[in-house]
C-alpha cells in the first residue's frame, strides 16, 4: 500500500512538473528597460508576440492612459509638456544648497488629445519626499494651454537632484499621471 502511494505521488509530480515546463515554454518573461531603468513588472513573450505592462510603461514615458471597459480598449495619450523654471525673469536650474529660493513654474502643453480635469506641480527632494507646489482643476477645451504656478518659496536643504514634476488627471480618472519633469541641481 505504501509503494502504491509513492508511485501515485511520483506520477502526480511528473505531470505537474511537465505542465510547469510546458507553461514556461509557452510564455516567457521578458526584461523591460525604459530609458535605462528596468521596470518592476516584466513583459511576456508568447507565440512570438511581446506583451508589456502598459500602465507602468505609460508612466515611464510620461503619458496618460485611458481604459474603456465596454469596448475593452486602451488609449495612450502623450501630450507635449514643456516646463520652464523662473526666478524673477531669469530661467534657472542650478541652486546653492542651504538657500531659500523664490521661483515659479511655467508649463506649455500642446498635442493634448483627451480631456484633463486637473493639473498638479510637485517638487521632490533628493530623498524622494514630495511637496505639492500647486494643484487645481482645469477646464481645457483646446488641444493646448499654458499653466503658471504662483510664486514658490522653497529651501534646498541638501545637495543633490531635486525633481519638479508636472501631473495631469484625465477627465475620466482619479489617478494622477506624471507628464513632464525638470531637474534642479543643488550644490
> H or E segment at 151?
none
pLDDT at residue 14 greater than cutoff 70: no
Of the candidates 164, 166, 170, the one whose C-alpha atom is nearest the C-alpha of residue 182 is 164
So what's the pLDDT on residue 141? 75
Q: Measure CA 11 to chain center.
A: 47
Query: pLDDT tens digit string along 74-87?
Result: 888 889 999 999 99
- Look up the pTM and report it: 0.75
The answer to whether the beta carbons of residues 167 and 122 sit under 8 Å apart is yes
Amino acid at each position: 500500500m505504501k509503494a502504491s502511494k509513492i508511485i501515485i505521488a511520483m506520477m502526480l509530480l511528473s505531470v505537474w512538473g511537465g505542465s510547469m515546463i510546458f507553461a514556461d515554454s509557452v510564455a516567457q518573461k521578458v526584461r523591460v528597460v525604459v530609458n535605462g531603468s528596468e521596470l518592476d513588472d516584466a513583459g511576456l513573450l508568447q507565440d512570438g508576440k511581446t506583451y508589456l505592462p502598459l500602465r507602468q510603461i505609460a508612466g515611464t514615458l510620461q503619458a496618460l492612459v485611458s481604459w474603456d471597459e465596454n469596448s475593452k480598449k486602451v488609449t495612450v495619450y502623450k501630450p507635449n509638456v514643456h516646463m520652464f523654471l523662473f526666478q524673477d525673469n531669469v530661467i534657472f536650474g542650478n541652486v546653492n544648497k542651504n538657500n531659500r529660493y523664490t521661483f515659479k513654474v511655467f508649463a506649455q502643453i500642446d498635442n493634448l488629445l483627451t480631456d484633463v480635469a486637473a493639473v498638479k506641480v510637485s517638487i521632490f527632494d533628493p530623498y524622494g519626499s514630495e511637496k505639492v507646489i500647486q494643484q487645481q482643476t482645469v477646464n481645457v477645451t483646446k488641444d493646448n494651454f499654458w499653466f503658471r504656478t504662483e510664486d514658490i518659496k522653497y529651501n534646498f536643504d541638501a545637495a543633490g537632484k531635486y525633481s519638479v514634476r508636472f501631473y495631469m488627471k484625465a477627465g475620466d480618472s482619479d489617478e494622477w499621471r506624471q507628464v513632464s519633469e525638470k531637474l534642479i541641481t543643488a550644490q
